[in-house]
Amino acid sequence: NAGVMQNPRHLVRRRGQEARLRCSPMKGHSHVYWYRQLPEEGLKFMVYLQKENIIDESGMPKERFSAEFPKEGPSILRIQQVVRGDSAAYFCASSPSRTSGGSNNEQFFGPGTRLTVL
Amino acid sequence: GENVEQHPSTLSVQEGDSAVIKCTYSDSASNYFPWYKQELGKRPQLIIDIRSNVGEKKDQRIAVTLNKTAKHFSLHITETQPEDSAVYFCAASKGGSYIPTFGRGTSLIVHP
């Protein structure tokens, strides 16, 4: 089991460009979560998705940010017209399907994408 | 919504000492409390968790206690080693939602 995969690991963008961050959940996991971590701060929830559905995007900025988790392929967090304040580590986590039985709430984190906006 | 407070923000101990990190939560409906360890530049990794139907859980040198009445839970690390140095995050979530609310983290430094 390869675990949660994220790419790229490091991403440098100039102000105004677009950033696309990808996350492949663990095999068998259908729940994906995106978090942002600023230097020396905790993990801030952004969005929770299941296949083809956004379940909770209460932590996502209203403008410039979007996320998707298509039927096929990885989940993508997209940041349009990046600004310096978007520089952070973005972590993706996945958890098992709720329908698989049990009440396992454990989330497994990917290695993160460190976004630097110049 | 849920609010999780974590203290201290920095903890410095000598190798072999114990370390205790405390968290409080606000939503009495929260019933799952994981602890994550994040080494510098790496991903957060679950080290121990506790559910609201138990008061204490232990795994070798690591233990977690939960006081539902007071809405606080703590991480205890005994016989600390330099490799325990990392940032530790507590979190709280409800059963119906898998979205945990994280504390701001505690930077633990274990001096050899």
pLDDT of residue B96: 59
**Residue written as tokens 């290695």?**
A111
Using pLDDT thresholds of 50, 70 and 90, give the confidence band for residue B6.
Answer: very high
Of B43, B98, B104, the CB nearest to A105: B98
Q: Which residues of chain B form beta strands (DSSP E)? A: 4-7, 10-14, 19-25, 30-38, 45-51, 56-59, 62-67, 72-77, 86-94, 101-102, 106-111
Average pLDDT over residues B85-110: 88
CB contact under 8 A, A105 and B44: no
Residue A96 neighbours by CB distance under 10 Å: 20
CB contact under 8 A, A106 and B49: yes
Average pLDDT over residues A8-36: 95
pLDDT of residue A105: 66
Average pLDDT over residues A37-57: 90
The three-class DSSP label of residue B83 is helix
CB contact under 8 A, B93 and A41: no
The three-class DSSP label of residue A101 is coil
Tell me which chain A residue has its CA closest to the CA of residue B107: A40
